[in-house]
Chain A
Amino acid sequence: MQTQFVPLLVGFALLAFSCGAFAGAADLVTVNEPHARAVPPGQSVSAAFMELANTSAADHALVAAESPAAETVELHEHTMRDGMMAMREIPRIDLPAGQSVSLQPGGLHVMLIGLKQPLNAGDRVEITLVFEDGSRQTIEAPVRKAGVMMKHHHH
């Protein structure tokens, strides 16, 4: 009698493990207008900005990032505390269903720490975004000099 359940269990297992074949967060989040900051020679940190559009009906989150251009990559935010701009590492950037989250100067950003290559205007930086389900998306961010305003964002 018990042998009847074995195929059932195998079937369930296959179904469970095949979830990886379904679209992961990386396929459902669109990255728009990524760009990284050009930095002076000898500078060891920089920031990358972008818009993340979650086109799906489920919430997702960016939980990490990697780049061959830097030793460590962290997610950071800015808040105003006691009249001072405070930058802090954050563990994740939530991407609610159907919404766009903007990583822009003065706010959220991907911080590149320990730069392994110079970032000159016109270069391109490879960044891999890691989402909460482990899925990954690799993008190329053009390097731009600060002060070049593409859009005026109101804070």
Chain B
Amino acid sequence: MNKTLPLILIALSSLALGWVLLFWQPSDRPAELALDAPDGGDFTLQSAGGPVALEDFRGKVVLLYFGYTFCPDVCPTNLGFIAAAMEQLAAAESEQVQVLFVSVDPERDTLEKLQAYAGFFHPRVIGITGTPDQVAQAAALYGAAYRKVPQPDSATGYLVDHSANTYLLDRSGKMRRVLAHATAPDEIAAAVRAHL
């Protein structure tokens, strides 16, 4: 009893550890991403006008924002501020800027809906999305986090929590600035001008 009990306990612990190592999986879904320090990078997604590749915009400053159209406040605020910033630029300047709105909710955001949504804010906004995996990969490049949250008691059905940053890419496609949620139009315009 004195000697076999510890051995039994060790054996059981080893078995438990072995099970954890081999079989246990965290229950989060792959779309739940942490905010590491990402470098950016190229991706291709779809728009109502056909495929959109980030590298198509070399030579332009790109403002990249991840959101979804069912978002009543945060996304319209940020896109509204971006649009206001674009209005502050001279025509020659804004022609060198491209705004991309990536929907992290392809389930609800069809390409046509995205096109209408993007155009509402400013003509230089393109709405794009893809399969959940494609969107997840694009978001991971920029450290854009998002998470689908079912809302059984709300008429919203489900919501998507998301980091609300705008990523500024310079003309060579390199990510240079992360503009936090609700950065004022003045600041956005200044950041864009700094890289034109």
Question: Measuring CB to CB, which residues of chain A are less than 8 angstroms from any residue of chain B?
Answer: 37, 39-47, 71-72, 74, 76, 78, 81-89, 105-106, 109, 111-114, 145-149, 152, 155
Given contacts A82-B145, A147-B83, A147-B185, contact A87 B74 (CB under 8 A): yes
- Interface of B, secondary structure class, is mixed
Distance between Cα atoms of A99 and B83 in the complex (Å): 35
Asked if A87 and B71 sit within 8 Å, CB to CB, the answer is: yes
Segment of B56-64, B149-157, B169-177 in the binding face = B149-157
In the assembled complex, B146 has its CB within 8 A of some CB on chain A: yes
Contact partner, A37, options B73, B83, B164, Cβ 8 Å = B73
Asked if A41 and B72 sit within 8 Å, CB to CB, the answer is: no
Q: How many residues of B contact A (CB 8 A)?
A: 40
Number of A-B contacts (CB under 8 A): 109
Distance between Cα atoms of A113 and B73 in the complex (Å): 12
In the assembled complex, B40 has its CB within 8 A of some CB on chain A: no
A-B contacts, 7 listed (Cβ < 8 Å): A43-B117, A84-B163, A85-B163, A89-B156, A146-B80, A147-B82, A149-B185
Interfacial chain A residues near B147, Cβ < 8 Å: 82, 84
Interfacial chain B residues near A155, Cβ < 8 Å: 182
Asked if B72 and A85 sit within 8 Å, CB to CB, the answer is: no
Question: Measuring CB to CB, which residues of chain B are less than 8 angstroms from any residue of chain A?
Answer: 34-35, 69-74, 76-77, 79-84, 113, 116-117, 119-121, 145-147, 149, 151, 153-156, 159, 161-164, 181-182, 184-185
- Interface of A, secondary structure class, is strand
Asked if A78 and B120 sit within 8 Å, CB to CB, the answer is: no
Asked if A106 and B181 sit within 8 Å, CB to CB, the answer is: yes
